[in-house]
Amino acid sequence: MTDLVGDLLRRVSRSFYLSLAVLPRPLREPIGLAYLLARASDTVADTRLLPRAERLRHLATLSAAYAVAPGGPDVSAVARACAPLQSHAAERELLERVAEALARVERLPAGDRAALRAVLATITEGQRFDLERFPGEDAAGLAALDTLADLDRYTYLVAGCVGEFWTRLHIAHRPRLGGWDGAAMSATGVRFGKALQLTNVLRDVPADLRHGRCYLPARELATLGLGPRDLLDPKRTPAVRPLFDRLLRDALEHYDAAWRYTLAIPRPEWRMRLACAWPLLIGLGTLAAIARHPNPLAVARPIKISRGAVRAILARSSLAVWSDAALRREAGRLRAAVRV
């Protein structure tokens, strides 16, 4: 059987696995388990072959199981209902091994266990919010968030809260971070997560529209004379560019905060530095590709940077990790490419 926080995690998320694998060993277990359990509940939420009410019920079961010690809600029923419907073998296996992951959570130190349960409670709240806010499964049932505040809340629930969790665990495990102001760095860590999630939102607009979800707020669209359904017409999508560019600028401001976080990590903590720098550099590269596209809402496939570009980012940043100036140059080069 494959290792949970190893091969299975690599198979369900190659990009996150890069950061996890480079972390100091004591941090891999709690952070890896948190990712796997969040991914399991997300997989349940996305199992569209099941009626929405059933998905919400299974999600509630997982959320309750994540919050208590073994002997709580039975998660095997969730696996029986959802695992056979997954086309991805690794996601089937993940659902079948949720109980094993929860047993490993119980072996964590008490502080790590409490932090993990807190972040999973927030993430599953975000997953429920998503299922309840968007009742349709395709463009015929398209619905939108109402306001920019709703979008900001969503990015916190599903990603910004991870910055708090990440910060809490690193301060607990890495003595060199003893001088950090935990509250201030956690708040900056929230913006780190929001930067990455907002990038995902902007990248995935066309696919989300096809699945009945519009994360571009309806009130902001209305100021441009648009409604969510107008975004399904490639001839109308250029009109949304002012809002799209505003969100690109918001994402850049979050990235700026995330770089302040990364550069505040002491240089001897090079593993943590790389684990932070890699997703930021890849995210900025993706944001630049989105900004360059003449009509990013009309693409058939999500905009991504090439594997070669990712390999180049990993190589350059591995050399630059010891130098604040070198890391700033890497980030600055990619940030300058996001022209809005």
- The continuous run of DSSP H or E covering 144 comes out as strand 143-144
> In angstroms, what is the C-alpha Rg of the chain?
20
Mean pLDDT value of segment 12-38: 93
What is the Cα–Cα distance from 142 to 231, expressed in whole angstroms? 10
Residue appearing with tokens 């990235």:
255
Tens of pLDDT, residues 7-19: 999 999 878 999 9
DSSP secondary structure letters along 266-289: -TT-HHHHHHHHHHHHHHHHHHHH
180-192 pLDDT, tens per residue?
999 999 999 999 9
- C-alpha dist (Å) from residue 41 to 29, 60, 243: 18, 9, 31
The DSSP symbol for 8 reads I
DSSP state of 73: S
- Tell me if 274 sits within 8 A of 282, measured CB to CB: no
Phi, psi of 306 (to 5 degrees): -70, 160
pLDDT at 276 over 70: yes
* Cβ(309)–Cβ(259) below 8 Å: no
- Tell me phi and psi for residue 339, to 5 degrees: -95, 110
**What's the mean pLDDT when you consider all of the chain?**
94
β-sheet bridge partners, residue 144:
214
Tell me yes or no: is domain 134-340 CATH 3.90.25.10.
Answer: no
CA of 134: how far to CAs of 23, 146, 203, in Å?
A: 36, 12, 19
pLDDT in tens, 64-106: 999 987 667 889 999 999 999 999 999 999 999 999 999 999 9
Q: Of all helices (H) and strands (E), which one includes residue 295?
A: none
- Give the residue carrying structure tokens 């360059």: 292
Half-sphere exposure of 225 (CA within 13 A, CB side): 4
pTM for the full predicted model: 0.95
Percent of the chain with pLDDT over 70: 99
Q: What is the pLDDT of residue 2?
A: 67
Domain ranges of the chain: 1-107, 134-340
For the chain, the residue count is 340
- State the amino acid at position 81 in one-letter form: A
Alpha-carbon span 165 to 225, nearest angstrom? 40
> Nearest Cα to 15, choosing from 299, 252, 275?
275
Kind of pairing between the strands at 213-214 and 143-144: parallel
Could you report the per-residue pLDDT of 223-242, keeping only the tens digit for each?
A: 999 999 999 998 999 999 99
Please tell me the predicted confidence (pLDDT) of residue 15: 84
The backbone torsions φ and ψ at residue 123, rounded to the nearest 5 degrees and listed phi first, read -65, -45
The answer to whether 101 and 4 have CB atoms below 8 angstroms apart is yes
Cα–Cα distance measured from residue 213 to residue 45, given in angstroms and rounded to the nearest whole number: 14
**What is the CB neighbour count within 10 angstroms for residue 319?**
10
Q: Helices marked H in 25-175 — which ranges?
A: 25-45, 52-67, 76-82, 89-96, 98-106, 110-133, 148-155, 161-173
**Residue 90 vs residues 2, 11, 14, 18, 40: alpha-carbon distances, Å:** 10, 6, 12, 17, 11
CA separation for the pair 251, 311 (Å, rounded)? 23
Mean pLDDT of 295-304: 90
